[in-house]
Structure formats: structure tokens, C-alpha cells
Structure 1
Amino acid sequence: MPIKAKITATSVKGLKPEDKRLNDTEIAGFHARITPKGSITYYLFYRLHGKQVNYKLGVNGQISPVQARDLAKDKMAEVTKGIDVQAVKKKERFNTQQAKLSTLQRFLEEKYYPWLKSRNPKTVQKTIKAFEASFQVFMDYQLKDITAWEVEKWRNKRLDDAIKPATANRQINLIKGCLSRAVEWGLIESHDLQKVKALTVDNSKVRYLSKDEELRLRAALDDLGIDYLKTLVLLARNTGMRKGELLSLKWEDINLTNKVLTVDFQNAKSGSSRHIPLNTEAFNTLIKWKDLSGDNGYVFKGENQLQIKDFRYDWARLLDAAAITNFRFHDLRHHFASMLVMASVDLNTVRELLGHSDLNMTLRYAHLAPEHKAAAVNLIG
């Protein structure tokens, strides 16, 4: 049966499970409950606006009877002023929980990555690695606290660590896109990362092969006799495909009858499919490779029939054999675009073949066609 007494260390110590409850004699509604196992919890019972509430003050051992009494007095004073302390407590708990859920880490894991996976599953791992490598400092930040000022400070630190401006620009675009989704989905009202202006990057310098370098590269391909590598290089040289697009290519993406190759949207950086006509060399190269490797599954696969993930060692051997320096596999894409421009192909066609989302990316090759500028000024000469 419930008993009445002033709640003190002594009365609480003497409380037995069969007592069930100890009602304080000085503060109305202040009481302690004891469970059959002897655990004691302090409560404050109050009525407000017709609602009856039992407000939990704390567990004995975590707070003392004196602390529970002081807290009961404070909360009852708030109730007297018309404040529903239970509702306030629930709101505070909700806000705390929401704060935990709205960190960058939780947003990425629970919302952003699943959304990316639904749109383009093959790029999710690359995005995850990019965030983990670049934005660890922001993972415990509230989304609303990732401001332009914080990102500017982060970028300055990255630049001090010798990161390239172009890399910094790509990384900032990554987090801008992430926060824009958070705004779109109503998790934050806005962000101000548009204030973080892109660093100036000189895109006019394009690395492509000279005629002599290309001759040496072709000779080295023949001398090494690595069939898959020769196919990869010649296909990149004649289609402008990215390394990831080539390694993800499947035979079902190639129509040898119509001489057209399709880059599936799931493998394209832009997220859009594109169709690339096969010129004579690309077509003949694929025909020879089909006879060697078969026409099922991935175009480039190892002995275990699984997709080739990388070919760094063989690429290094090739460059060494050809005596070519400062040339990445990705530069074959630049070589493809440069040859098109120097052959007077219009920039919009080059853009479509490369899969650029807008012409700005393609304009880096414009200076390779000086005859167009010369013809333009001669019109008024």
C-alpha cells in the first residue's frame, strides 16, 4: 500500500517493494515508486488544462532524494505558470533525436546514398569513397551548420595540403549537390554554399599525343602483345570513353551490325546514356577481340570471367616501352577530342560524343582549331 512521508534519504532507504509508492507530505504530487525488484524512481504528478501527467524526475542512485525534491519544486513552479513540463521534455527529446539524425553522416547513410543507389547504383561506392576521403571533418556536423565559411576554411586547409584547385572544385560540387538534396527534401531550409566560388583552373592545357608519340605507342602495343590492353587503348583512342565506362562495357552494349556502341546511363558520369558510332579501327578491333574473348558478359574480363577492375601495371609497362611520359590513360579521351577538333568537327558534336552535359567542358579544346578564328577575322580583313 502507498505510504506518506517526507521523501528523504532515510525514508527512501526504508521503502519496501510491497509499499509500492511513497507520497511526499510537503510537495503535492511528488512521489517515489518502487518496483518488485527494488528499483526506485521519482515522479511529479500534476494536472494541467484537464490533462493528468506523471512526470519522471529521475532514478534513485542517478539522482539523490534531495536533488529529486529540488527538481520537483522547480517543475511544479513551471506548471503553476501554465507550462506543460512533460510536453517540453518530449520536445527536447525529439529535438535531440532529430539533431542526431540530421548530421551529415546520418543523412548520407540513411537518405543520400540510398537515393543515389536508386538512380545510378554503379557510382554509389565511388561517391561514398569521395565523401569519406574528403569530408570526414564535417561528418558530425548538423547539415545546417555546414556553411560557406566552414567550407572555405576546409578548402584553404586542403589547398595548403597541396590539393589541386580542380580537385577542390569537384569536391565542393559534391557537397553542394548533397546539401541541395537536403533542402529539396525539407531537412534544412537552405544552404549558402553558392557563396563558395569555384577556383580558377586553366583548362586550356590539354595533353594529347603527338604524331610521333602515337606511332611509338602503337609500336609498343604490338611489341608487348597484351591483347586486352591493345583493345582497350585503341577503343579509348577511337571513342573517347572513360576508363570506368570501358571496364563496365558489356557485349550487349555493342551493336556490331549497326556499328554503334552504347554507354549505359548507369556507367556514364553524366548519368545519361550516349551512343557512339564505331569507326573502322574501333570496329575491327572489337571484331578481333570478340574472336579471342567471346561475346558474353563484360567485354574486358579476366581468366575468372569477372570484370577487370584496373590495369595500372600493364599501362605503366606500355608507357615505358613507348618512352612516353606525363600521359594518363584518361588523356586518350583528350586525344580523341583533340583529333576531332583539329579535323574541324564542330564542338557540339564533340560534346555529344564525349557525353559532356554542357558545352563549357568541351570549350577547352576550342583553341586546337585556330583556322576557325583565322577565317572569322579574315571576313572583315
Structure 2
Amino acid sequence: MPVKTKITAASIKELKTEDKRINDTEITGFHALISPKKLITYYLYYRIHGKQANYRLGIHGHITAAQARDLAKSKIAEVTQGVDVHAVKKKERIKTKESKLSTLQHFLDEKYFPWLLSRNPKTAEKTKKAFQSAFSKFMDFQLSTITAWEVEKWRNKRLANGIKPATTNRQINLIKGCLSRAVEWEVIDSHDLQKVKAQTVDNAKVRYLSKDEESRLRESLAKLDIKHLTTIVILAINTGMRKGEILSLQWNDINLENKVLTVDFQNAKSGNTRHIPLNKQAFNVLSDWQKISGNIGYVFKDNKQQRILDFRYNWAALLEDANITDFRFHDLRHHFASKLVMASVDLNTVRELLGHSDLKMTLRYAHLAPEHKAAAVNLIG
């Protein structure tokens, strides 16, 4: 039988499971229910606009009997003014749920990453890591609240922490592309990240090897005699391939008979397949490596026949032995391009060999080799 008494800490303490409920004698509709597991929940029953509702005030232990009483009085006052407090609470609950479903994290996980994965799995994985690394601050943001101002503040902090402008430019392009998809898929109405302008970057500063440095690098390769490293470096010098493209190579991508190498679209940054002719050095180094590694599966495998994922320590040892500083593996790509330009190869051909989607990236090499410029102006001196 329900108990009728004032709901207090004492009366709640005496409530038994067989009582099932206790109805407050002072506030109409204020009551508490007890479950077979002795869980006590406070409620307020009321009628409004011809409807009846049971508003949950809270669970005993999370709130006290006195707090439940005060909350009941507050809600009764709202009902008296015509507010359906239960309906309001339901709307807030739905709004909260919807807000969780429209955060950047949810959009990435449920829509954007699966879409990228269907287009290019490797690009999707790289993009996912880039978002996790760069945009952890925004993961709980509503998509609509990721504004140009928020991104500007984020960028200023990144630049102050030593992140290079070129890096922040790439990262901002990532989130711009993501929000543009959200607009296209009608998840949000619009975004204003087009207001975030790219930082000016001097792309003309390109590091490449001098003749003496290249000579020392080759001497150190022969001295260290690390077979896979030698093959990788000579291949990079003669093809301009990125490290990821080289390590993703499989033997069925290489046609030694026709002396051509194919970079599969799934492994290319541009997402486009390209074919690179093998010159004599590239052909010879791959032919020699094939005798060691075999001609099945990935081109570069370790002793356990697992794909090589990196070679940073060997690369560092090579640079140290060759006494070369301020030089990354990616700079071998610049070195390849610079040698082509200095050999008077037209920029569009350089663009095709490098796999650039447009000529803008390739134009950074147009000014290379000052000695060639000097020779050109001296023709009319």
C-alpha cells in the first residue's frame, strides 16, 4: 500500500519495497517510487492542457529528499504558469542527443571517414591520423560552431608553438574540405572557413644536393652497404618518388622488361596513377635487388618477409657518414626535379613525373640552379 506522509529524509529511510510508493501530503503530485532493488526515484505528477505527465525529479542518493521537495515546488510553479515541464525536458533531451550526433567527431566517424575509405583507403587512414593529431580541440565542437574565428585562434596557437605555416595551410585545407562535404550532404547549412586565408609560404626555398654532396652520399651508400637502403635511395634519386610510394611498391607494379614503374593511384598523394620510365641506374638497382628479395609481393621486405615501414635510423646513419646536414629523405624528390630542370626538361614533363595535379607545385623548381641563370644572361653579355 502506498504511504501517505510528508517526504523527508526520515520517511524515505523508513520506506519499504512492499510500500512501492510514498505520496507527499503537502505538495500535490509529489511522490517517490521504490523498486524491488530498493532504488528510490522522486517524481512530480501533474495535469496541464488536458494531459497528464509524470516528471522525474531525480534518484535518491543523487539528490536528497529536501532537494527533491524544492525542485517539486519549482516545477509546480512553472506548471502553474502554463509550462509543460515534462515536454520541455524531453525537448532538451532530444536536443542534447542531436548535438552529440552533430559533433565533428561523430561526423568524421559516421560519414566522412567511411566516405574517404570507399574512395582511397590509404588516403583515408592518413587523413584520420591528421585530424586526430591536429584537430583534437574541435572534436567535441558542433560542426556549426567551427568558425573562421575559432580556426584562426587555433592556427595562431599552432604557429606560436613552432608549427610551420605550410603545415597549418595543409591542415586547414583538410578541415575546409571536411566542412564543405558536410554542407554538400546537408548536415549543416554553411561554413565560413573560406575566410581563413592561407599563410604566405616561400615555396622557392627547395633543398637539393650539390654535386659534391651527391658524390659523398653515393660513396657512403657503397661504404655502409645496406642493400635495401641503397636501392631505395638510388630509386628516389632517379624517379622522384615519395617515401610512401616507394615503400608501397609491389613487384607487379614494376615492368623490368619495358623499364617502367607504375605508382598505383591508391598509393599516390594525388590519387592518380602515374607511370615512370626507369633510367639505367633505377633499372640496374631494381634488377640487383630483385635477385635478393625475389619478385613476389612488396618490393621492400625485411628478413621476416614483412613490408618495411620505415628506415629512419639507416637514413640518419647515411647522412652522418656523408656529412650532409639539413636534408630530409623527401628532399631527394626535390633533387630529382632540380636535376631535370637543370637538364632543360620542360616543366610540364617534370610535373607529370612528380605526379603534381597542376603546374603550381612544379613552378617552385623553375628558378633552380643559379649557375644556369648566370650562363643564360652571359649569352648576351
- Normalised TM-score (structure 2): 0.85
| Pairwise CA distance, 1:253 | 1.4
| Pairwise CA distance, 1:55 | 1.6
| Pairwise CA distance, 1:26 | 4.5
- Map 1:121-200 to 2 at 5 A: 121-200=121-200
Q: Look up the equivalent residue of 2:269 and give its one-letter code.
A: K
| Pairwise CA distance, 1:243 | 0.6
Change in Cα spacing, 1:77 to 1:356, as seen in structure 2 (3 Å) is same
Corresponding residue of 1:204? 204
Distance in 2 (CA, whole Å) between partners of 1:233 and 1:306 is 20
Q: What SS does structure 2 have at the residue aligned with 1:275?
A: strand
Distance in 1 (CA, whole Å) between partners of 2:62 and 2:210 is 77
Change in Cα spacing, 1:42 to 1:237, as seen in structure 2 (3 Å) is same
Distance in 2 (CA, whole Å) between partners of 1:361 and 1:259 is 27
Corresponding residue of 2:364? 364
Q: What SS does structure 2 have at the residue aligned with 1:305?
A: coil
Change in Cα spacing, 1:51 to 1:314, as seen in structure 2 (3 Å) is same
Change in Cα spacing, 1:7 to 1:342, as seen in structure 2 (3 Å) is same
Corresponding residue of 2:287? 287
- Map 1:83-102 to 2 at 5 A: 83-102=83-102
Distance in 1 (CA, whole Å) between partners of 2:22 and 2:325 is 85
| Pairwise CA distance, 1:105 | 4.3
| Pairwise CA distance, 1:13 | 4.4
Distance in 1 (CA, whole Å) between partners of 2:216 and 2:189 is 57
Change in Cα spacing, 1:283 to 1:37, as seen in structure 2 (3 Å) is closer
Q: Look up the equivalent residue of 2:68 and give its one-letter code.
A: A
| Pairwise CA distance, 1:353 | 1.8
Distance in 1 (CA, whole Å) between partners of 2:9 and 2:368 is 88
1:106-145 Cα distance to aligned partner (Å, 9 max, x none):
5445544444434333345544443444334444444433
Q: What SS does structure 2 have at the residue aligned with 1:367?
A: coil
| Pairwise CA distance, 1:306 | 0.9
Corresponding residue of 2:335? 335
2:249 paired with 1:256 = no
| Pairwise CA distance, 1:69 | 3.3
Distance in 2 (CA, whole Å) between partners of 1:26 and 1:313 is 78
Distance in 1 (CA, whole Å) between partners of 2:165 and 2:37 is 65
* Cα pair 1:122 1:266 within 8 Å, conserved: yes
| Pairwise CA distance, 1:247 | 0.7
Q: After the TM superposition, which of the residue ranges 67-76 and 240-249 deviates more from structure 2?
A: 67-76
Q: Look up the equivalent residue of 1:206 and give its one-letter code.
A: V
Change in Cα spacing, 1:331 to 1:39, as seen in structure 2 (3 Å) is closer
1:335-362 Cα distance to aligned partner (Å, 9 max, x none):
2222222333332332222122222111
| Pairwise CA distance, 1:102 | 4.2
Q: Look up the equivalent residue of 1:180 and give its one-letter code.
A: S
2:73 paired with 1:73 = yes
Q: After the TM superposition, which of the residue ranges 332-341 and 130-139 deviates more from structure 2?
A: 130-139
| Pairwise CA distance, 1:315 | 2.3
Q: What SS does structure 2 have at the residue aligned with 1:324?
A: coil
Corresponding residue of 1:232? 232
Q: Look up the equivalent residue of 2:267 and give its one-letter code.
A: N
Q: After the TM superposition, which of the residue ranges 260-269 and 4-13 deviates more from structure 2?
A: 4-13
| Pairwise CA distance, 1:241 | 0.5
Distance in 2 (CA, whole Å) between partners of 1:299 and 1:37 is 64
Corresponding residue of 1:220? 220
1:287-319 Cα distance to aligned partner (Å, 9 max, x none):
222122110111111111111122223223333
2:301 paired with 1:313 = no
* Cα pair 1:344 1:369 within 8 Å, conserved: no
| Pairwise CA distance, 1:249 | 0.7
Corresponding residue of 1:36? 36
Corresponding residue of 2:272? 272
Q: Look up the equivalent residue of 2:79 and give its one-letter code.
A: V
Distance in 1 (CA, whole Å) between partners of 2:38 and 2:223 is 85
Distance in 2 (CA, whole Å) between partners of 1:283 and 1:356 is 23
Q: Look up the equivalent residue of 2:356 and give its one-letter code.
A: H
Distance in 1 (CA, whole Å) between partners of 2:261 and 2:99 is 48
* Structure 1 unaligned spans of 5+: none
RMSD of the alignment, in Å? Answer: 3.1
Distance in 2 (CA, whole Å) between partners of 1:218 and 1:64 is 79
| Pairwise CA distance, 1:207 | 2.0
Q: What SS does structure 2 have at the residue aligned with 1:272?
A: coil
Change in Cα spacing, 1:293 to 1:47, as seen in structure 2 (3 Å) is same
Q: Look up the equivalent residue of 1:337 and give its one-letter code.
A: A
Q: What's the % identity of the aligned pairs?
A: 73
Change in Cα spacing, 1:66 to 1:324, as seen in structure 2 (3 Å) is closer
| Pairwise CA distance, 1:364 | 0.6
Corresponding residue of 1:353? 353
* Cα pair 1:351 1:358 within 8 Å, conserved: yes
1:29-73 Cα distance to aligned partner (Å, 9 max, x none):
332222234333222223445544222112234333443333333
Distance in 1 (CA, whole Å) between partners of 2:221 and 2:317 is 10
Distance in 2 (CA, whole Å) between partners of 1:5 and 1:220 is 92
Q: After the TM superposition, which of the residue ranges 118-127 and 300-309 deviates more from structure 2?
A: 118-127
